[in-house]
Amino acid sequence: MDIVVFQQQGSGEKKVEGVLQYGAPIRITEIVSIDEFLPDFIENPCDFMDDDFTANLVLNYLTHPDLSQYLIALCDQKGIPIVSPGKKGKGFTPFTCCGLGRSEKLGLYGEKFGVPEYKVRLDGNRIADISVVRGAPCGATWDALQEYIGCRVDDVLTRLPRQVQYFCCADPSGFDPISGKSPVHFAGYVHIAALKKAIEEAA
């Protein structure tokens, strides 16, 4: 699976690292970085990005709304699925990267990344083994599992959300006006929900 990433000022670097580390055999064939100073309003977004690209999937980490909406429209014209976390428009627009649901259109990326899923093996009330089936492209799902083997279930349920929030690279200031939660809070919630489900299945 070939992916093209669009970013500004390194906004997608952490996710790129996670995809490369945990997403093999997914390939990131191109990273388009727009790092120059941009005006508040961009009348011709096409002046800032080349439309001559092909991919199985595009990851949109652009922060300027005019560029982001242009890219979303461009992918729609090309028939390329696009994931645009925290944005609005066509394509896949989860609140956070770890809020992405499953879809056949997302191919192998959608199998490996999105709403987290764990597999747990219990030894009484302790974690005997825990692995990630599906996680956040920033890598927080994997990074937060340090030193949990042998720990009590209750302790892990308490510690995991804080660990995920520590490793999460989402903007904590981006509050959702409906839920009142930031992307970092949301990340902690979906991970603890995934762990509870895995524990229930293991039990």
Consecutive 10-residue averages of pLDDT for the chain (203 residues)? 96 95 94 93 93 96 96 96 93 94 96 96 94 94 86 91 86 62 87 94 91
Return the pLDDT at 183: 86
Return the pLDDT at 176: 61
Contact (Cβ atoms closer than 8 angstroms) between residue 107 and residue 92: no
Domain 2-93 has CATH 3.40.50.2300: yes
- Buried residues in 174-183 as b, exposed as e (16+ CB within 10 A): eeeeeeeebb
Return the pLDDT at 196: 95
**Domain spans in the chain, listed from the N-terminal domain onward:** 2-93, 117-202
Return the pLDDT at 178: 57
